[in-house]
């Protein structure tokens, strides 16, 4: 499981863009995992796209995660599946996938993160850290809440929501080591360059923290 720079796909960023070419550019820029999340496609279309993405992510030694659809994740031999509070419960997901996939789960408060510690999951997606355009309905939690969540959680935290290249240093300094990003990479014309900027900011901040003995 390598979710350091975790790209989340979104329908609106692929209008007039080739899906595979765009994601390959992001992978070349340093993305370590791709979550396939589309709402306006049929199952057959998603399956065929995921098969190609499985090949592409393997080529770059990156993880492939499927949002919500446990069946598709298993069918294409993805690395992981991510579910939210309105999807199949994590306990049921684990029964289906066993140890074939890792399981991610969404939490939007400190209380939810504490409860999630007992769930059969491998990481927790926490946010929205900043205002975001990717989701219409979301809860803004902020950087201070992120610091607290990182402190109390025994499971890895993936921070999500409005993380742009210029905000990477702040969330890494808050203790988050896994950054889920959509607009911060896909919202730019040069996807490879934006991914490189995220990677550079991440590495530089980690280097500074190591020099200060904070890692």
Instruction: Tell me the pLDDT tens digit for each residue of 100-117.
Output: 999 999 999 999 999 999
Q: Within 10 Å of residue 57's Cβ, how many Cβ atoms?
A: 24
Tell me the pLDDT of the chain averaged across its residues: 95
d(C-alpha 191, C-alpha 22), whole Å: 7
Instruction: Tell me the pLDDT tens digit for each residue of 1-31.
Output: 999 999 999 999 999 999 999 999 999 999 9
Residue 128: cis peptide before it, omega within 30 degrees of 0:
yes
- Look at residue 149 in the predicted model and tell me its pLDDT: 97
d(C-alpha 183, C-alpha 82), whole Å: 19
Instruction: Tell me the pLDDT tens digit for each residue of 26-44.
Output: 999 999 999 999 988 999 9
d(C-alpha 98, C-alpha 85), whole Å: 20
The yes-or-no verdict on residue 134 having pLDDT over 80 is no
Instruction: Tell me the pLDDT tens digit for each residue of 66-112.
Output: 999 999 999 999 999 999 999 999 999 999 999 999 999 999 999 99
The yes-or-no verdict on residue 132 having pLDDT over 80 is no
Instruction: Tell me the pLDDT tens digit for each residue of 142-167.
Output: 999 999 999 999 999 999 999 999 99
Percent composition of the chain: helix, strand, coil (DSSP 3-state, to 5): 45, 15, 40
- What CA–CA distances, in Å, run from 120 to 1, 126, 214? 16, 17, 30
Angle between helices 43-59 and 19-28 (to 10 degrees): 30
- Look at residue 136 in the predicted model and tell me its pLDDT: 65
Q: What burial letters (b/e) apply to 18-39, b meaning 16+ CB within 10 Å?
A: ebeebbbbbbebbbbbbbbbbe
Token pair 């590495």 in the structure block, residue: 203
Q: Within 10 Å of residue 155's Cβ, how many Cβ atoms?
A: 16
Identify the helix (H) or strand (E) that includes residue 168: helix 168-173
Q: Assess contact for 125 and 104: CB atoms under 8 A.
A: yes
d(C-alpha 43, C-alpha 63), whole Å: 21
CATH number at 5-210 = 3.20.20.70
């Amino acid at each position: 499981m390598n979710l350091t720079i975790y790209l989340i796909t979104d329908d609106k960023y692929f209008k007039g863009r080739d899906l595979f070419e765009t994601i390959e550019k992001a992978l070349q820029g340093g993305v370590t995992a791709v979550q396939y999340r589309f709402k306006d496609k049929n199952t057959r279309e998603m399956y065929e796209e995921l098969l190609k993405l499985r090949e592409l992510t393997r080529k770059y030694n990156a993880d492939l995660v499927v949002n919500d659809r446990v069946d598709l994740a298993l069918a294409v031999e993805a690395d992981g599946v991510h579910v939210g509070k309105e999807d199949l419960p994590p306990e049921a997901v684990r029964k289906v996938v066993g140890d074939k996939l890792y399981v991610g789960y969404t939490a939007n408060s400190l209380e939810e993160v504490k409860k999630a510690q007992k769930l059969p999951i491998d990481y927790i997606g926490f946010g929205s850290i900043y205002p975001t355009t990717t989701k219409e309905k979301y809860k803004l939690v902020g950087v201070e809440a992120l610091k607290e969540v990182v402190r109390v959680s025994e499971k890895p935290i993936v921070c999500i929501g409005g993380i742009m290249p210029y905000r990477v240093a702040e969330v890494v300094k808050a203790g988050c080591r896994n950054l889920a990003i959509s607009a911060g990479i896909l919202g730019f014309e040069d996807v490879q360059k934006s991914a490189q900027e995220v990677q550079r900011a991440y590495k530089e901040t980690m280097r500074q923290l190591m020099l200060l003995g904070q890692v």
